[in-house]
Amino acid sequence: MGSTRTTGVPTKLTQGSKTKGGIGESTLRPDGTLKVTGEFAYSSDMWHEDMLWGQTLRSTVAHAEIVSIDVSKALAMDGVYAVMTYDDLPAEMKNYGLEIQDTPVLAHGKVRHHGEPVALVAADHPETARRAAAKIVVEYKELPLITDEASATAPDAVLVHEGRTDSHMSHVPHPNIVHRQPIIRGNAAEAAKKADVIVKGEYTFGMQDQAFLGPESGLAVPAEDGGVDLYVATQWLHSDLEQIAPVLGLPEEKVRMTLSGVGGAFGGREDISMQIHACLLALRTGKPVKIVYNRFESFFGHVHRHPAKLTYEHGATKDGKLTHMKCRIVLDGGAYASASPAVVGNASSLSVGPYVIDDVEIEAIALYTNNPPCGAMRGFGAVQACFAYEAQMDKLAAKLGMDPVELRQLNAMEQGTLLPTGQVVDSPAPVAEILRRVKSRPLPPERQWESSEGADVRQLPGGLSNTTHGEGVVRGVGYAVGIKNVGFSEGFDDYSTAKVRMEVINGEPVATVHTAMAEVGQGGVTVHAQIARTELGVNQVTIHPADTQVGSAGSSSASRQTYVTGGAVKNSCELVREKVLEIGRRKFGSYHPAWATAELLLEGGKVVTDGGEVLADLVDVLEDESVEIEAEWRHRPTEPFDLKTGQGNGHVQYSFAAHRAVVEVDTELGLVKVIELAVAQDVGKALNPLSVLGQIQGGTTQGLGVAVMEEIIVDPKTAKVKNPSFTDYLIPTILDTPTIPVDVLELADEHAPYGLRGIGEAPTLSSTPAVLAAIRNATGLELNKTPVRPEHLTGT
Amino acid sequence: MRVNFTVNGRQQEADDVWEGESLLYVLRERMGLPGSKNACEQGECGSCTVRLDGVPVCACLVAAGQVEGREVTTVEGLADYAKHRESAHPGGGCASGTCGTSLQDAQQWKAQGTDSQTGEGTTLSPIQQAFIDAGAVQCGFCTPGLLIAADEMLERNPQPTDADIREALSGNLCRCTGYEKILDAVRLAAARQDRQGLQEGAV
Amino acid sequence: MDFLRPASWEEALAAKAEHPTAVPIAGGTDVMVEINFDHRRPEYLLDLNRVVELREWEVGEETVRLGASVPYTQIMEELRTELPGLALASHTVASPQIRNRGGVGGNLGTASPAGDAHPALLAAGCEVEVESVRGSRLIPIDDFYTGVKRNALAEDELIRAVHIKKADGPQQYSKVGTRNAMVIAVCAFGIALHPETRTVRTGIGSAAPTPIRAKVAEEFLNAALDEGGFWESKKIITPSIAKQFAELASGAANPIDDVRGTASYRRHAVGIMARRTLGWTWESYRGKGRSIEGVA
pLDDT tens, residue by residue, A20-41: 999 999 999 999 999 999 999 9
CB contact under 8 A, B34 and A47: yes
Which chain B residue has its CA at the smallest distance from A33's CA?
B119
CATH of the domain at C213: 3.30.390.50
Q: Assess whether pLDDT exceeds 50 at residue A11.
A: no
Q: Are B14 and B26 in contact (CB under 8 A)?
A: yes
Residue-wise pLDDT for A710-730, tens only, equals: 999 999 999 999 999 999 999
Domain presence at residue C105: no
Q: Which of B66, B96, B173 to mutate to test the interface with C (most CBs of C within 10 A)?
A: B66
Domain presence at residue C248: yes
Provide the chain C residues 277-296 that lie in CB contact (below 8 A) with chain B. 296
Residue A506's pLDDT is: 95
A101 with A229, same domain: the answer is yes
> Which chains contact A through at least 3 pairs of Cβ atoms less than 8 Å apart?
B, C
Residue-wise pLDDT for A570-579, tens only, equals: 999 999 999 9
Cα(C69)–Cα(A471) distance, rounded to whole angstroms? 35
The correct CATH number of B3-74 out of 1.20.1300.10, 3.40.50.170, 3.10.20.30, 3.30.1360.120 is: 3.10.20.30
User: Average pLDDT for residues A451-469, to the nearest whole number?
Assistant: 94
> Which chains contact B through at least 3 pairs of Cβ atoms less than 8 Å apart?
A, C
B179 contacts on A by Cβ (under 8 Å): 697, 701, 734, 737
Residue A33's pLDDT is: 96
Domain presence at residue A729: yes
CB contact under 8 A, A467 and C295: no
Provide the chain A residues 272-311 that lie in CB contact (below 8 A) with chain C. 294, 296
Length of chain B: 203
Looking from the CA of A54 toward its CB, the CA atoms found within 13 Å total 34
Domain presence at residue C15: no
CATH of the domain at A545: 3.30.365.10
A533 with A459, same domain: the answer is no
User: Strand, coil or helix: what is B116?
Assistant: coil
Q: Assess whether pLDDT exceeds 60 at residue A682.
A: yes
Residue B197's pLDDT is: 75
> Which chains contact C through at least 3 pairs of Cβ atoms less than 8 Å apart?
A, B
Instruction: Report the phi/psi class of residue C118: left, alpha or beta, with left for phi > 0 and alpha for psi in -120 to 50.
Output: alpha
Residue-wise pLDDT for A217-238, tens only, equals: 999 999 999 999 999 999 999 9
Domain presence at residue A167: no
**How many domains does chain C fold into?**
1
Residue-wise pLDDT for A649-681, tens only, equals: 999 999 999 999 999 999 999 999 999 999 999
Q: Pick from A127, A542, A697: which is nearest to B178 by CB?
A: A697
CB contact under 8 A, B117 and A542: yes
A759 with A669, same domain: the answer is yes
A561 with A600, same domain: the answer is yes
Provide the chain B residues 25-64 that lie in CB contact (below 8 A) with chain C. 41-44, 46, 49, 55-58, 60-63
Alpha carbon separation from C269 to A499, C170, C248 (Å, rounded): 61, 21, 12
Q: Which of C2, C25, C29, C36 to mutate to test the interface with B (most CBs of B within 10 A)?
A: C36
Residue B63's pLDDT is: 98
- Contact with chain C for residue B15, Cβ under 8 A: no
Percent with pLDDT over 90 in chain A: 97
Provide the chain A residues 666-685 that lie in CB contact (below 8 A) with chain C. 668-671, 673
Helix (H) / strand (E) element for B150: namely: helix B143-156
Domain presence at residue A676: yes
- Its domain, for residue A660, covers 432-487+652-794
B15, burial (CB in 10 Å: exposed 0-12, middle 13-18, buried 19+):
exposed
Residue C294's pLDDT is: 54
Sheet holding C23-25, edge to edge: C2-4, C44-47, C23-25
**What is the interface size between A and C, counted as CB pairs within 8 Å?**
125
How close B103 comes to chain A (CA, Å)? 23
Residue B97's pLDDT is: 38
Q: Assess whether pLDDT exceeds 60 at residue A598.
A: yes
CB contact under 8 A, C97 and B170: no
Q: Give the contacts of A321 (CB within 8 A, at least 6 positions apart).
A: A410, A411
Cα(C86)–Cα(C27) distance, rounded to whole angstroms? 18
Q: Assess whether pLDDT exceeds 90 at residue B89.
A: no
CB contact under 8 A, C182 and B1: no
Q: Are C1 and C42 in contact (CB under 8 A)?
A: yes
Q: What value does the mean pLDDT of chain C take?
A: 96
**How many domains does chain A fold into?**
3
Residue B15's pLDDT is: 96
Residue A452's pLDDT is: 87
For A15-24, A26-35, A91-100, A310-319, which range has the lowest pLDDT when averaged over its residues? A15-24
A139 with A244, same domain: the answer is yes
User: Average pLDDT for residues C137-147, to the nearest whole number?
Assistant: 98
CATH 3.40.920.10 given to domain B76-103+123-202 = no
Which of A743, A636, A739, A634 has the alpha carbon at shortest distance from A686?
A743
Residue B87's pLDDT is: 81
User: Strand, coil or helix: what is A576?
Assistant: helix
Compute the 3-state secondary structure of chain C and give helix, strand, coil in percent, each to the nearest 5.
40, 25, 35
| Cis previous bond, A787, omega within 30 | yes
Residue-wise pLDDT for B153-187, tens only, equals: 999 999 999 999 999 999 999 999 999 999 999 99
Residue-wise pLDDT for C258-296, tens only, equals: 999 999 999 999 999 999 999 999 999 999 654 445 555
A250 with A104, same domain: the answer is yes
Cα(C248)–Cα(A61) distance, rounded to whole angstroms? 42
- A762-779 vs A689-708: helix crossing angle, rounded to 10: 40
Side chain identity at residue A667, one-letter code: T
Alpha carbon separation from A625 to A289, A622, B12, B188, C55 (Å, rounded): 42, 5, 49, 45, 69
Alpha carbon separation from A282 to A120, A218, A219, A248, B21 (Å, rounded): 11, 12, 9, 11, 24
The reply to whether B76-103+123-202 shares the fold of B3-74 is: no
Q: What value does the mean pLDDT of chain A take?
A: 96
pLDDT band of residue C104 (cuts 50, 70, 90) is very high
Q: Which of A58, A464, A665, A727 to mutate to test the interface with C (most CBs of C within 10 A)?
A: A464
Report the relative pairing of strands C23-25 and C44-47 from DSSP bridges.
parallel
Of B120 and C212, the one with more pLDDT: C212
**B56-65: burial string, b at 16+ Cβ within 10 Å, e else:** bbbbbbbbbb
What pTM did the predictor assign? 0.95
A235 contacts on B by Cβ (under 8 Å): none
CB contact under 8 A, B172 and A734: yes
- Its domain, for residue C268, covers 171-288
Q: Assess whether pLDDT exceeds 90 at residue C120.
A: yes
Domain presence at residue A552: yes
A786 with A765, same domain: the answer is yes
User: Where would I find the H helices in B10-68?
Assistant: 23-25
Domain presence at residue A193: no
Q: Assess whether pLDDT exceeds 50 at residue B99.
A: no
Interface predicted TM-score of the whole assembly (ipTM), two decimals: 0.96
Sign of CA dihedral B68, B69, B71, B74: positive
Residue B90's pLDDT is: 56
Domain presence at residue A441: yes
A269, burial (CB in 10 Å: exposed 0-12, middle 13-18, buried 19+):
buried
Residue B120's pLDDT is: 56
**What is the interface size between B and C, counted as CB pairs within 8 Å?**
93
Residue B108's pLDDT is: 39
Q: Pick from A33, A520, A690: which is nearest to B124 by CB?
A: A33
Q: Pick from C175, C259, C292: which is nearest to A723 by CB?
A: C259
A678 with A758, same domain: the answer is yes
Q: Which of C1, C2, C3, C34 to mutate to test the interface with B (most CBs of B within 10 A)?
A: C3
Q: Assess whether pLDDT exceeds 70 at residue C38.
A: yes
Q: Pick from A45, A456, A694: which is nearest to B138 by CB?
A: A694
Residue A8's pLDDT is: 38
User: Average pLDDT for residues A63-79, to the nearest whole number?
Assistant: 98
Percent with pLDDT over 90 in chain C: 97
Q: Give the contacts of B153 (CB within 8 A, at least 6 positions apart).
A: B160, B164, B165, B168, B169, B186
Sheet holding A785-786, edge to edge: A177-185, A359-367, A322-332, A308-316, A197-205, A785-786
Cα(B140)–Cα(B126) distance, rounded to whole angstroms? 17
CB contact under 8 A, C100 and B56: yes
CB contact under 8 A, B43 and C33: yes
Domain extent listing, chain B: 3-74, 76-103+123-202
Residue B86's pLDDT is: 81
Residue A13's pLDDT is: 42
Residue C289's pLDDT is: 52
Residue A17's pLDDT is: 62
